[in-house]
Amino acid sequence: TFSQERAGVPAMALGIVSQCLDLCVEYARTRVQFGRPIGEFQLIQLKLARMEVARMNLQNMIFRQIEMAGAGKRMTLAEASAAKLYSAQAAMEVALEAVQLFGGNGYMAEFQVEQLCRDAKVLQIYAGTDEIQVGQIARGLLRG
């Protein structure tokens, strides 16, 4: 069903976000600009913190799905669409920030963040585009 298909997207997004975060933390520790690691710069710290918040949100969303399944409950189509929409957008945002953090290196195939960015984009298309998810969420809310 659409609900089941969409319910898997948060796990895929979590993998992308976690890998982006791991790569960015390592890069921020080792990449030196102006005589110091870029991780010491406040804007880089902000990017890393936002990535961690997205990772935690996705993880909590997955835990909620597991709890629902354990209780014999299924997500409604609107709930699954909301989870898919948030997850895909979070993965895309984190992946784009990872490319940005890596600078010119982030755009090169030799660095994994380039591939992760393409992987994140497909989550906004697979199992219904973001625009389709918005419609499903709104219809679910309006039905009550």
* Residue-wise pLDDT tens digits, 87-137: 999 999 999 999 999 999 999 999 999 999 999 999 999 889 999 999 999
Q: Tell which phi-psi region holds residue 75, choosing left (phi > 0), alpha (psi between -120 and 50) or beta.
A: beta
Q: Count the domains in the chain.
A: 1
Residue 68 contacts by C-beta under 8 Å, 6 or more apart in sequence? 74, 75
- What's the domain range around 21? 2-143
CATH number at residue 75: 1.20.140.10
Q: Is the dihedral of CA 138, 79, 15, 38 positive or negative?
A: positive
Angle at 118 between CA 112 and CA 122, to 5 degrees: 140
Reported as a pLDDT band with limits 50, 70 and 90, residue 144 is confident
Q: Which residues pair with 32 in a beta bridge?
A: 37
* Residue-wise pLDDT tens digits, 16-68: 999 999 999 999 999 999 999 999 999 999 999 999 999 999 999 999 999 99
Is residue 5 annotated as part of the catalytic site, yes or no? Answer: yes
Residue 24 contacts by C-beta under 8 Å, 6 or more apart in sequence? 47, 48, 51, 97, 98, 101, 102, 113
Reported as a pLDDT band with limits 50, 70 and 90, residue 4 is confident
Determine which one of 5, 40, 97, 114 is catalytic: 5
pLDDT at 14 over 80: yes
Give the pTM.
Answer: 0.94
